[in-house]
Amino acid sequence: MSIFTNQILRRITVADLQKFKIGKFERKGLETLLSSKRVTGARLWMEHQFLAQVNRLPHAMLYRLMGGRPETLGTRTLGAEMQAIAFTSRRMKPFHEYPKDAMRVRYQYVSRMMGRQGPPALQVRRKRIHLNSVAGGDRWLQIRTYTPAQTRLPRPMLVYFHGGGWCIGGADTHEDFCLYIAERTNMAVVSVDYRLAPEHPYPLPVEDVIDAWQWIAEHAAMLGGDERYLLVGGDSAGGNLSAVLCQQAYLRGFRMPAGQVLLYPSTDMRCQHASHQEMGDDYLLTGKWIHWFITSYLQSNQKRVEPQASPLLADFEVFRHQPPAIVVTCGFDPLRDEGEEYAEKLSAAGVSVDYHEFSHLLHGFIGMLGVSGQAISAANTISAQILGLLARLEGIQNS
């Protein structure tokens, strides 16, 4: 098997990956990726072809293949499909060891390979929007709108900010999840390509999401959205930016979102919660990768305690004026405890919070919809949570 694999690795070229439609702006990074000695395009292709078959195997068989027994942390047991993904990732070159451009290419490639395959079933519209503010400057951003074909107009809308540690990712890497939420909830979903660090460090991504939110809210009707039901949300770094946006809406006085959907959010840049130490470097989002992200984004350790970076550290009065929230965490995720504490602080301040921990899942599961039935099940739960939040908001509107 190793001889066969080595023969494939020797023959793979950049051209072999053109079918994955890697953009021209990423070619330099892709060539760097393929030149790595520890992982190549062929290795990635084979690993993820394997993962695509994971949910067809009995879980007992998966556990036997991936170490012999389920991995546990205290009372939590890692799901079989998640264990297969973690097992595979440990045999790949760590993300943070790549040059920045190659890291972005690899993240996009992995996202596409782990997502659902085939053309989108919904209408997808791309648009460049012009933003200009004192804090953010004069710039253009891309937004992407996912619209269900057969739903009432106008419809509730989720403005989504992707994860990726403020440094990688974009509308492409999170398109599958945005499509899935739009399909399951019949909402319009607008994905925002905010600027990335380290080229655009903190607080520029914060200003991007704030200005983009205000532009989208002002043009919601044009985008097919119901102005009464405009939510914000995001995963990981995008969850951080969503929480910060809601806090700044109160502090600066711009329009407050009707609700917030925070998926395994980063809320405390100090990284002092027990789950950071508990996970170590074993479960996808490693301590070294988190350090690289935060250093690249903040570029100063002193900024870790600023509420615009660490929304968990905001004053209690700010928490009292936050919109209803959905907060989701994962059992096998360094960010688990800080996400849970954020939900607890919101609740203690009198905010309606729907909190759910998927104790068997890994950080980043929303990007695994094409290879994990467990991720699909969790996405269905999140969809139901969003529909429940919308129903409560509608009840308030009609009361």
The residues assigned a catalytic role are 236, 333, 363
- Between CA 278 and CA 31 the distance in angstroms is 36
- Between CA 234 and CA 174 the distance in angstroms is 10
- Between CA 177 and CA 363 the distance in angstroms is 14
H or E stretch at 358: strand 353-362
- Between CA 392 and CA 37 the distance in angstroms is 53
Helical segments of the chain, H only: 2-11, 27-34, 41-52, 59-65, 80-89, 100-114, 175-185, 204-218, 237-252, 274-279, 287-298, 316-320, 336-348, 373-398
Number of C-beta neighbours around residue 380 at 10 A: 12
Nearest residue to 191 (alpha-carbon basis) of 134, 256, 126, 239: 126
- The radius of gyration computed from the CA coordinates of the chain, to the nearest angstrom, equals 20
